[in-house]
Amino acid sequence: MGRNRWFGDGRPRYGSRVSTPLRATRQSFAGRDLRHRTLDGHSFKLCDFRGADLRGASLRGVSFAGCDLRGADLRDTDLSYARFGYVRTHDPEYGRTDVTGARWDGADLRGVTAERVIGWPNDL
């Protein structure tokens, strides 16, 4: 299938006239190294992030709709104002989602069921 058109070399593709955040539908980021990337405001729908390394990434205002986050490493990410809808976070055979140290200011987590998530804040 070749390299992902978004992150083939680890960087998002911005056209010369693109000034708005990018959207991805049914893209696979499974197992990708996306550490310390800035993906603020991006929209991900039905995307696969299983086992993705997003440590230290800036995901402010990101929308995850129907995404698979099983085994994703979200330690120390900035999830301020992020929106999560119908995401999957755990598969006994794949691993756990780790959100230790993530910033959650203003994040919309209504309707999210987080199972076996490491570092989930108790007050959310």
Q: How far is CA 47 from the centre of its chain?
A: 9
Widest distance between CA atoms in the chain? 44
User: What is d(CA 107, CA 122) in angstroms, rounded to the nearest whole number?
Assistant: 14
Q: Are 112 and 87 in contact (CB under 8 A)?
A: yes
Per-residue pLDDT of the chain (124 residues; tens, 9 = 90+): 444 455 544 444 443 333 456 899 999 999 999 999 999 999 999 999 999 999 999 998 899 999 998 888 888 888 888 888 888 876 655 557 778 888 777 777 766 666 677 777 766 5
pLDDT attached to residue 55: 92
pLDDT attached to residue 94: 52
Class of domain 44-119: mainly beta
Q: Are 96 and 73 in contact (CB under 8 A)?
A: no
